């Protein structure tokens, strides 16, 4: 009998270990998963989107309400106390190494957190700390231009509400090249770059009246109209089309934002509507970065890579593509 007790104890431990392993086993993404083909840049269909902005316009969202179709996901059963789900790209391919972070609070302002990274099937599973829980980060890292960039991933059901930790949650995410983030934030601040998954520009300029010798050098004449053009150049991230963006703006307020630009590399050009080319000059705190304009100052046109806010996924919040605006000043040469 004395020998049976240890054997019984070992059997119980073995059964528990097998059960735990099965519970935590990564599920197959599912036979219904569809992976669509990614086209080469040269094979992408072309289009042009034109925008005419008034003197007082402070922003333009170049993709509007558009978003690439999201892939389908295998139906998962909720596991009490755990957050589970898959992360895919916009073609339906699983993303390995995506970072998912959850934090919980029992007493307001005091948080405990737990994180996970996706496996080779794009699957993650997190034991949720006790309390009222929320996702604080969901991101992956890509090779981008002269370096690396952390990009936020979009919740496939468009919602990231708080939830009770003991209830558990299934949440899938998709890596998208542009699109709106949290809709209430977009409604309140439609000009803010971090409310979108695409890249952005901050365009500024000075103006003068004819004959004003004291105006800053390079000032545009009041009442003139200029054109900014963005042409995809050699590479776009997960693109469905090669879209050229043309923006015409009358001088008035001295700056405006261009937001939600599909992530990629672009040729940017600036000219007065009457044809005279303008100088583009990158300014601001990120002007010394390897990203942004290249060269940093040019008459007529130059190349741009958007500024990643960071290459670290754990510093990337939810509902954002994580791109800082490129601060571009235009002026007469």
CATH topology of domain 68-175: Immunoglobulin-like (2.60.40)
**Annotated domain spans of the chain:** 51-64+182-331, 68-175
pLDDT > 70: percent of the chain: 90
Task: Please identify which residue in the block is written with the tokens 């990231």.
Answer: 160
In sequence order, what E strands does 14-95 have?
Answer: 46-53, 59-61, 82-89
Beta bridge partners of 245: 49, 230
- The maximal CA–CA distance of the chain, rounded, in angstroms, is 108
Q: Using an 8 Å Cβ cutoff, are 141 and 96 in contact?
A: no
**Which of 135, 140, 141 has the alpha carbon at shortest distance from 159?**
135
**Which of 143, 196, 191 has the alpha carbon at shortest distance from 305?**
143
Residue 258 tokens, joined = 């261009």
Q: How confident is the model at residue 111 (pLDDT cuts 50, 70, 90)?
A: confident
Q: For residue 9, is pLDDT > 60?
A: no
Task: Confirm whether pTM is higher than 0.85.
Answer: yes
Q: How confident is the model at residue 110 (pLDDT cuts 50, 70, 90)?
A: confident
**Which of 67, 65, 292 has the alpha carbon at shortest distance from 175?**
67
181-196: per-residue pLDDT in tens? 999 999 999 999 999 9
305-325: per-residue pLDDT in tens? 999 999 999 999 999 999 999
The more confident residue out of 146 and 110 is 146
Q: Using an 8 Å Cβ cutoff, are 24 and 83 in contact?
A: no
Q: How confident is the model at residue 13 (pLDDT cuts 50, 70, 90)?
A: very low
Q: For residue 57, is pLDDT > 70?
A: yes
3-class state of residue 42 by DSSP: helix
Omega into 215 within 30° of 0, i.e. cis? no
Q: What is the DSSP string of 163-179?
A: EEGGG-EE--EEE-SS-
Per-residue model confidence (pLDDT) at position 22: 39
CA–CA gap between residue 111 and residue 129 (Å, rounded): 9
Beta bridge partners of 236: 264
């Amino acid at each position: 009998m004395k020998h049976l007790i240890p054997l019984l104890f070992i059997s119980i431990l073995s059964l528990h270990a097998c059960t735990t392993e099965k519970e935590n086993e990564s599920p197959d993404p599912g036979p219904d998963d569809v992976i669509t083909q990614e086209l080469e840049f040269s094979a992408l269909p072309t289009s042009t989107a034109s925008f005419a902005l008034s003197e007082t316009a402070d922003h333009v969202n170049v993709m509007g309400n558009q978003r690439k179709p999201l892939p389908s996901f295998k139906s998962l059963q909720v596991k009490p106390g755990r957050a589970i789900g898959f992360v895919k790209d916009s073609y339906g391919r699983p993303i390995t190494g995506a970072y998912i972070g959850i934090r919980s609070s029992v007493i307001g302002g005091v948080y405990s957190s737990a994180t996970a990274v996706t496996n080779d099937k794009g699957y993650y599973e997190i034991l949720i700390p006790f309390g009222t829980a929320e996702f604080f980060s969901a991101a992956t890292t890509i090779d981008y231009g002269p370096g690396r960039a952390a990009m936020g991933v979009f919740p496939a059901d468009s919602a990231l509400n708080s939830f009770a930790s003991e209830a558990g949650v299934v949440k899938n995410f998709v890596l998208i090249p542009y699109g709106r983030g949290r809709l209430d934030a977009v409604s309140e601040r439609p000009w803010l770059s971090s409310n979108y998954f695409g890249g952005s520009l901050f365009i500024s300029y000075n103006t003068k009246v004819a004959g004003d010798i004291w105006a800053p050098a390079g000032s545009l004449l009041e009442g003139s109209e200029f054109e900014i053009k963005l042409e995809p150049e050699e590479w776009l991230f997960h693109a469905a089309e090669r879209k050229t963006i043309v923006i015409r703006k009358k001088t008035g307020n001295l700056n405006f934002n261009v937001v939600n630009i599909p992530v990629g590399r672009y040729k940017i050009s600036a000219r007065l509507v009457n044809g005279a080319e303008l100088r583009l000059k990158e300014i601001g705190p990120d002007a010394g970065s390897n990203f942004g304009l290249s060269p940093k100052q040019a008459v007529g046109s130059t190349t741009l890579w958007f500024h990643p806010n960071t290459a670290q996924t754990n510093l990337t919040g939810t509902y954002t593509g994580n791109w800082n605006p490129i601060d571009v000043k235009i002026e007469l040469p």
